[in-house]
Each structure stands twice: as C-alpha cells, then as structure tokens.
Structure 1
Amino acid sequence: MLLQIPAELQQFLPPRLRGLPVTAPADGDSTLGHLVESVGPPLPEVGGLLVDGREVASGYRPVGGEVVDVLPIRRPQAIPEFADAAPRFLLDVHLGALARRMRLVGIDTAYHNDCDDPTLVIQANAERRVLLTQDRGLLRRKNLWFGAYVYGIRADAQLDDLLRRFALPLAPWTRCTACNGELRAATREEVESEVEAGTLDRVDAFARCRACDRVYWHGAHGGHLDEIVEAARRTAAGIR
C-alpha cells in the first residue's frame, strides 16, 4: 500500500522517509488509521483519507495494493463542539510560554506545569477543552476527544499558527496570564495597598483577577506585551 503524505505532514515522518514514497503493509486486520499513525502522522493532524480517490474513514481496513492520499487539516479548522462559542484549550506541561500568550489575547486556556498525560486527557474530556501538545503519543490516545499538534519552536510562532488554524476570536487584556481567570476593572483606591506609590502616581487604570485576586496594570513590560497583542490582531484580521 502506497501512502502519499503531503508537505504539511512530512515533519511527522522519520527523516529517512521525508520526500520519498511511503509504503505500509496491509495485513487485512489493521485499520488505515493505525497504519497511517505507524509511519508518523497522528490522526488528529489528518484532515481526510482517500483510497484510490475514494474517501474512507480511519477505520477502513485496506487489503493491499491501494494508493492512499493522506490529506492535511483544512484551515481554518472547525470544532463542532464550539459552533456557538469560542473554543477552550488545555496545554501540556511543555507549553507554558504559549499558555501565557493565549491568555494575554483572551483565549480560555488551562495549563498546569505538573500534570501527567492521563490527567491531561481526563481534564480535556471532562471540560471539553482542545488538548494542545507537541507529544505525538499524547495525540494518539484513543480516549482523547479532541487534540491538536502545536507547530513551531518559539511561542510567538506557535500562537500565530494556532490563530490561523482555528480562526480564534480575540479579547486582549481580559484574562489573568497566571491562572486564566477573568479580569475586572479595579479602582486606584482598591489596589493602593498592593501597589507601590510610584506606580500609583504613574498609572490610572488597574484590573484584578476574579479568581486569584492578582492586580494588573500597564507597566514597564507593557511594550513587549503590546507587540504580542498587535501581532495576534494582525493575524486574526488576515484570516477574516
């Protein structure tokens, strides 16, 4: 059986197979989805399967000799569960920098730096959160309701790709970057016992997290954060 892997999914192949025809043995028992994953691409990153030009499900059992086109995800990717609401996400332990950026632009993002894989899957399923990871083994877990691979090395590139993939609505400065709680406006008098006098003299607008009570204001690092937000807005505007 010949597997035709598109450029978008070549990175999941072993280096020795990239750019070359990929074959997989059809034993009559293994599903097509299993055979595709055995050569590299996890099924959550596959947008469709064509056998000799005919669309089939991942549970199809090839008999041998077929030509299989492995299609990439069509972008922007729809998530049926969130037809009338913004998607919610859960990130694995290696994506802390991305989690902070997602929260900064207002995306509902759960993250823990100490969760093992089974715990992540349980939370993703229970809360109906899209699990984001760069661990292909985690994406291959059969009981995971919905997952997606995070492309890119740096967090800025990862966020850009994520926005393009899911066409996410943005609401910058509305979530706590530490805990994901929603922010509310806070008065100067309310926060004066928690903020240095010099900051109180320079800053007019404050916010407080409804969940953890952390206080926010536009401070010395605001310029870098502004750049992240503006880059996200440009990406989002380019998708529409």
Structure 2
Amino acid sequence: MPTLTFRIYRELNDFLPKPFRQRSFTRKFVTLSTIKDAIENLGIPHTEVDLILVNGQSVDFSWRPQDGDRVSVYPMFESLDISGITRLRPKPLRESRFILDCHLGRLARYLRMLGFDCLYYGHCSDERLVAISLDQQRILLTRDLGLLKRKALTHAYYVRATRPQNQIEEIVARLQLQNSFRPFSRCTFCNAPLVKVDKQAVWSKIPENSRRCFNDFAYCNVCGRVYWKGSHFERMQRLISKLRDS
C-alpha cells in the first residue's frame, strides 16, 4: 500500500487525533488520488488549508502525490508573505458577511450585535447553505466537518468552540474582525439594519418604565422590534470591549 508522511501545522492540528498532533506521521492509502483527497481523508477540510508543500514544493489541490512523498500542510498565514508560491485559500472578502448553519443561532445573534450582516435559518439544507455562501460571497460558519469538505466552498470556517460566547471570541480573533465592528446597528433577530426613531414614533411598543428612563431608540423596519439602552446594555458593552482587545 502506498504511504505518505504528513506534518500538519498550527491550528490544523485541531482536526487530528492527539497522537498525531505537532509531529510527523505516516498514513497508508489503498490508492492515491489528489492531495486534496489525501488531506481531507485525515479529517482536515480544504477550506482551512492555505499552503501545501510536497517534498518541499508548493502544489495545488489537484496535485497527485506518489508513494513515499512528504507532505506539509499549513493554515492561513497572517503575517508571512507567501504570494510567490501556491496559496490555496482565496483572498479575503472585501466585506465580512456570514451565513451560519442551524446549530449556531446564538453565535449569529452575537455577530449581528457587532454589526455584521449574518444570515441564519433554523432549517436549511447543506446544498442551500453552500449556494448562498457562493452566490452572496458569505463566509460559511459551521461545526459540520462534512459540510466543509464540499468542493465548491471557497470561504468557510470550522467553529471549534461549543459555548456561544467562546465562539464569538474565537471568530473575532481568528478572522481579525476587531476593526470592522458597528455595534447595535442591526436587528439581532432578523439581521435588518436599524434606524434611529423618535420616542413618540414607537411609544406604543415601549414598556412604561422605559418611556420614563430612556430617550434614544432604534427600530427595525422588517420585524418591528424596538431597541434601547436597557439593563443589558452595559454587559454587552463590556463584551464588545473584550472582543476589541482579543
């Protein structure tokens, strides 16, 4: 059986069993097809890979390795210039917009709180998620590794954390979103932009106590929700400050 020797770098080790992390290891294959198939056979989605070296040579996903080849696999480089070799990840999108799978509803609300255009559907097929990601140039966020292995995907990310607050901290840090925040500019329920309104225009939608205590209000023209700086506002501000410093 043909064998390949792998060395996986940085956060791509998250997809490997612990005995294979941060070290070289050899894997046997019944047959060898493309290097993309070999890497995804390890459990690493192609959307997470930015550079592949085979015996020290930069290759693309269609490369067909040979028995005994040594393969090094790298994630997205943030500071090292590798423009002269075969970079596999697409260029960052001009605007960070997202679509999330059905398991990440709370994360979607956090992203909207920060002002990001973020689509989320309680029920949506994998095919539809991929189609929207491609058609609207949205980054697909998911915890479904099988979904990330779909060949058509170009901008996608596997969310490692399981708790929503840890997830938003991870996404902001990993995708370097700190300078793109527009807090409280979107409806956290339906994603539509918010507009400032006079108190009298939304008087009937505001609790009596809030009418007395607050004067600044924002309104969603799509779902009709009204927002103001209530008791939760300071807590949300603290989270935003923490995320800016991440």
TM over 0.5: yes
Relative distance call for 1:186 and 1:205 in structure 2 (3 A) is: same
Could you say which residue in structure 2 is the equivalent of 1:66?
A: 69
User: Aligned residue for 2:198?
Assistant: 187
Alignment of 1:205-216 (within 5 A): 205-216=216-227
Partner of 1:167: 176
Q: Give how far 1:136 is off.
A: 0.8
1:45 paired residue number: 48
- Measured in 1, the distance between the counterparts of 2:244 and 2:152 equals 34
> Aligned pair in 2 of structure 1 residues 178, 76: CA closer, same or farther (>3 Å)?
farther
| CA shift for structure 1 position 220 | 2.0
Other-structure match for 2:6: 3
Larger CA deviation: 50-59 vs 154-163: 154-163
Contact kept? 1:179, 1:211, Cα under 8 Å: yes
Match of 1:238?
Answer: none
TM-fit CA distance, 1:19: 5.0
2-side partners of 1:226 and 1:87: how far apart? 21
**1:82-161 alignment to 2 at 5 Å?**
82-83=93-94, 86-161=95-170
CA–CA separation in structure 2 for the residues paired with 1:188 and 1:60 = 63
TM-score (norm 1): 0.89
> For residues 76 and 42 of structure 1, do their structure 2 counterparts lie closer, same or farther at Cα, with a shift above 3 Å needed?
farther
What CA distance in whole angstroms lies between the structure 1 residues aligned with 2:121 and 2:223?
Answer: 15
- Report the counterpart of residue 203 of structure 1 in structure 2: 214
| 1:80 aligned counterpart, secondary structure | coil
Query: 2:85 maps to what in 1?
Result: none
- Bigger Cα displacement from structure 2, 7-16 vs 128-137: 7-16
- C-alpha RMSD over aligned residues: 2.1
Q: 1:23 aligns with which of 21, 26, 29?
A: 26
Which residue in the other structure is 2:243 paired with? 232
> CA–CA distance in 2 between the matches of 1:58 and 1:98?
31
Overall identity of the aligned pairs, in % = 34
Q: Distance in 2 between matches of 1:114 and 1:196?
A: 33
Deviates more, 1:163-172 or 1:184-193: 163-172
Residue-by-residue CA offset, 1:170-223 (whole Å, 9 max, x unaligned): 100101100111011011101111112211001111000132221111112223
In structure 2, relative to structure 1, the CA distance for the partners of 1:27 and 1:63 (3 Å cut) is farther
* Partners of 1:24 and 1:35 within 8 A in 2: no
Give the gaps of 5 or more residues in structure 2. 81-88
SS in 2 for 1:22: strand
Structure 2 CA distance for aligned equivalents of residues 89 and 79 of structure 1: 16
Tell me how many residue pairs correspond in the alignment. 233
Q: Distance in 2 between matches of 1:53 and 1:17?
A: 20
SS in 1 for 2:72: strand
Over 3 Å counting, the alpha-carbon distance change for 1:220 and 1:76 in structure 2 is farther
For residues 21 and 81 of structure 1, do their structure 2 counterparts lie closer, same or farther at Cα, with a shift above 3 Å needed? closer
Alignment CA distance shift 1:28-1:62 (3 Å): farther
Deviation at 1:29, TM superposition (A): 4.8
Give the aligned residue type for 1:210: N
Matched letter for residue 120 of structure 1: L
How far has the Cα of 1:24 moved from its partner? 3.0
**How far did 1:75 drift?**
3.1
Q: Which runs of 5+ in 1 are unaligned?
A: 236-240
SS at match of 1:49: strand
